[in-house]
């Protein structure tokens, strides 16, 4: 491929005129360019992709909770109790006494908890609209209760679902005995 030594064409024409050899100075750069771009790609990918992503989490102020407990109607809440084995139990309303809806076990991901949240959210929004309530202020409230048997990934997954389904109000709350019983009934504790 290299063409450094091809410059002697037309050297012996005619008489004794000595022509200086014209060297063709072009080197084939294809391989070099290939390599350079490969390295560029490598460095671009490693520098930008290695930066860690993060998720913002705001917890309520501990003092403020005790001062002013916020009240939410039971039908507007959805409680997710995170159990073991990447499963969770959901219900609407209160855990003491029979809940409004549920408790039902489900899984994480698109087909499990996301559909559920979207359905519930649509239901709450529809009822709010019918009652003429302020949609911004009185949207669905999701209560997340991670059990001792759940892991950190489960928590992040649920927080991620909150971001995907655009639920504005959610809180991480301590688990109660009633919630643990729901988990035990569904054999995920």
Partner 1 sequence: MAKIKLSKKSSRIDMTAMCDMAFLLLSFFIMTATAKVPEALPVETPASTVQTKLPEENLATLTIGKEKVFFGVTGRETRAETLKRMGDKYKIQFSDAEQKKFSLIDGFGVDIRNMKKLIEMPNEQRMKEGVQPGIPFDSINNQLADWVKTAREVAKDMDGKDLDIAIKGDAKEEYPTVKKVLDILQKQSKNNFFLVTGLRSDDF
Binding region for partner 1 (CB under 8 A): 26, 29-30, 32-33, 36-37, 39-40, 43-44, 46-47, 50-63, 82, 109-110, 146-157, 159-160, 163-164, 172
Distance, CA of 76 to CA of 121 (rounded, Å) = 9
Q: Based on CB atoms, which residue is closest to partner 1, 20 or 56? A: 56
Q: What is the nearest approach in angstroms of partner 1 to the Cβ of residue 26?
A: 7
| Separation of first and last alpha carbons in the chain | 69
What burial class does residue 181 get, using C-beta atoms within 10 Å of its C-beta: 0-12 exposed, 13-18 middle, 19+ buried? middle
CA–CA distances in Å: residue 164 to residues 23, 54, 93, 123, 179? 65, 15, 23, 17, 25
Q: What is the nearest approach in angstroms of partner 1 to the Cβ of residue 97?
A: 26
Q: What is the nearest approach in angstroms of partner 1 to the Cβ of residue 148?
A: 5
Q: Based on CB atoms, which residue is closest to partner 1, 122 or 163? A: 163
Q: What is the nearest approach in angstroms of partner 1 to the Cβ of residue 82?
A: 8
């Amino acid at each position: 491929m290299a063409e450094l030594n091809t410059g002697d064409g037309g050297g012996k024409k005619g008489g004794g005129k000595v022509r200086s050899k014209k060297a063709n100075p072009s080197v084939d750069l294809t391989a070099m360019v290939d390599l350079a771009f490969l390295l560029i790609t490598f460095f671009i990918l490693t520098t930008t992709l290695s930066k860690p992503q993060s998720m913002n989490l705001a917890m309520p102020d501990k003092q403020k909770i005790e001062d002013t407990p916020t009240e939410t109607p039971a039908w507007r809440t959805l409680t997710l109790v995170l159990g073991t084995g990447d499963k969770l139990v959901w219900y609407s309303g209160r855990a003491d006494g029979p809940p409004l809806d549920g408790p039902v076990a489900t899984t994480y991901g698109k087909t499990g908890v996301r559909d559920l949240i979207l359905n519930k959210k649509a239901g709450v929004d529809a009822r709010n609209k019918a009652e003429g309530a302020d949609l911004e202020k009185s949207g669905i409230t999701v209560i997340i209760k991670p059990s001792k048997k759940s892991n950190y990934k489960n928590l992040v997954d649920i927080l991620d679902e909150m971001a995907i389904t655009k639920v504005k109000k959610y809180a991480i709350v301590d688990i109660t005995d009633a919630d643990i019983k729901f988990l035990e009934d569904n054999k995920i504790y």
